[in-house]
Structure 1
C-alpha cells in the first residue's frame, strides 16, 4: 500500500561528462564499431586495447572509459564535435595514428563492411587527414589482418 502512495522515483541518470580528447577518441572508436549495427566482442576488446595503450590505462580502467564513451556516443553530439576536439587538442601525427586505430577496430571482427568504411572515411576527413595518410592507415590495418 505504501508503494502506491509513495511510488519510487526512477533514479536520475548521471550527467554525461563534457567531451575531451580522451572521450572524443573513445566515442569515435565506438561509433566506428557500431557503424555496421553489430558491436562484437572483438571490437570491444580492440577498443579497450587502444584506449589502454593510448592513455596508459589498466584493463579495468580502459573498460570503464569505453563504457563512458559508449554512453557519450549514444547521447552526445555528432562526429563533427568529437573531431573538432581532436583537431584542436591532438597533433597531426597522433591523429594519423588515431585513423589507423579506427581501422583496426573496424577490421577487428575479420570482415570489411561498407557502412564502417564510409563512417571511417568521414571521420578521417573531419580529422583533417590527407588522402595519402588515409590510404596508408587503411593499408596498414589491412596488412595486420
Structure 2
C-alpha cells in the first residue's frame, strides 16, 4: 500500500516528496512519537487528529482517516533514524520546524513526558536538522497552544 512512498523515503538521495506523501510521512512521525512510551492514548490520537485537521483543512472524519493511514505507514516504516533522515531530506525547513511544534504538542498531550518520548524527541529534532533552541521554542509554542 505504501511501497512507493517508502521507496522514495529510503532512496539514497530522496527527492522532495509530493505534498500528499510528505503530509502522510509527517503524520506517521507524529504517530511514532505517540506510540514511543507504549501507551498510544486516546488524547494523543485526538491531538494528532486536531493537528492534521488544522494543517490540512480536514473535517474530523478526514483527519481520523489520515491518522489511520499514518498508523499503517508508521508500522511499515523503517527505523526512526532512517525514516526521519529521509523526511529531512525530502521536506522543506519550514515544514520541519512546524513539525517540531506538532511533535511537542503530541508529546505534551497526555500531560506526561515519558523518558521514551523525551529520548525520541531529542533524536528526531537532531535528525531533522533542527537545533535545541528551535526545539525549545517549538515546545513553548506547543505548550501555549
Which category describes the TM-score, using the shorter chain as reference length?
Answer: 0.7 to 0.9
Q: CA deviation at 1:87?
A: 2.4
TM-score of the pair, normalised by structure 1:
0.80
**What's 1:16 paired with?**
2
Structure 2 spans left out of the alignment, 5+ residues: 7-20
**What's 1:73 paired with?**
74
Taking only aligned residues, the RMSD between alpha carbons, in angstroms, comes to 1.7
Aligned equivalents of 2:102 and 2:33: distance in 1? 10
Structure number with the higher helix fraction is 2
Q: How many pairs were matched up?
A: 130
Aligned equivalents of 1:85 and 1:55: distance in 2? 22
8 Å CA contact retained: 1:48, 1:59: yes
**What's 1:9 paired with?**
none
TM-score of the pair, normalised by structure 2:
0.80
8 Å CA contact retained: 2:77, 2:83: no
Matches within 5 A, 1:1-145: 15-16=1-2, 18-19=5-6, 20-144=21-145
Structure (1 or 2) with the larger CA radius of gyration: 1
Structure 1 spans left out of the alignment, 5+ residues: 1-14
Q: CA deviation at 1:112?
A: 1.3
